Chain A
Amino acid sequence: RKEVEQDPGPFNVPEGATVAFNCTYSNSASQSFFWYRQDCRKEPKLLMSVYSSGNEDGRFTAQLNRASQYISLLIRDSKLSDSATYLCVVNDDGGYNKLIFGAGTRLAVHP
């Protein structure tokens, strides 16, 4: 079983749609969770951290369910500029704080 699993997509949605991505992780000791965004042939960049109580940043909402070892990202009112690959990232709390990446979910927003 992969340490971090994501639905690879692609998700093809029209502008204005709401889309949700899911991610599961295997290490119950993981402490930190993130969503990164990666544009084609570019480096990943932090989109948002994910907190236990859930958090929102504009059109983006992240949720964490520790019991189910499940993370989600909700994007409301999708824009063309949201087209990218979204990477779920989990801190492997084995004492060395290494970041483990999911394979990513590709989103394509069309007019």
Chain B
Amino acid sequence: NAGVTQTPKFRVLKTGQSMTLLCAQDMNHEYMYWYRQDPGMGLRLIHYSVGEGTTAKGEVPDGYNVSRLKKQNFLLGLESAAPSQTSVYFCASGGTGWVNTEAFFGQGTRLTVV
């Protein structure tokens, strides 16, 4: 079972370049999340979605945009990359219901902005 798949797994960008990270899940989950993880900071929520066509800001949304045009995909865009966006990015998806069920994570994307 694929679960949650992130592409790409590694990327090096120059300052000012743009890119899109793709997250795909095959578990029919309503909720999807994008986190970034920096040393000593834990996972910080960038944006999330509670269903197809919806998105919402998390804790650190500046410099990022997202789209959820299809239920199974959640895209994270960097319009103009900055060195401060060097991080490991994790996508996750979770089930429905008022009380959250387990969140499943992708393997992460290691992004370096030079």
Contacts and interface: CB of A to CB of B under 8 A. Distances in A.
A98 B108 contact: no
B42 A87 contact: yes
A94 B91 CA distance: 21
Interface in B32-61: 33, 35, 40-45, 48, 50, 56, 58-59
Given A102-B42, A104-B42, A97 B98 contact: yes
A43 B107 contact: yes
Given A31-B98, A44-B90, A99 B103 contact: yes
Interface in A8-54: 8, 31-32, 34, 41-46, 49
A32 B50 CA distance: 17
B31 interface: yes
A103 interface: yes
A64 to B, nearest CB: 13
Nearest to A97: B100
Given A87-B42, A98-B33, A98-B45, A44 B100 contact: no
Interface residues of B, number: 26
A44 B98 CA distance: 22
Nearest to B90: A43
B45 A32 contact: no
Interface string A82-103: 0000010101000011111111
Given A99-B92, A100-B59, 16 more contacts: A8-B40, A41-B108, A43-B90, A44-B105, A46-B103, A87-B43, A89-B103, A91-B99, A91-B100, A97-B31, A97-B99, A97-B100, A98-B45, A102-B42, A103-B40, A103-B42
17 contacts: A8-B40, A31-B100, A32-B99, A32-B100, A43-B90, A44-B90, A44-B105, A49-B102, A96-B50, A97-B94, A98-B33, A98-B45, A98-B48, A99-B33, A101-B44, A102-B42, A103-B42
Interface of B: 31, 33, 35, 40-45, 48, 50, 56, 58-59, 90, 92, 94, 98-100, 102-103, 105-108
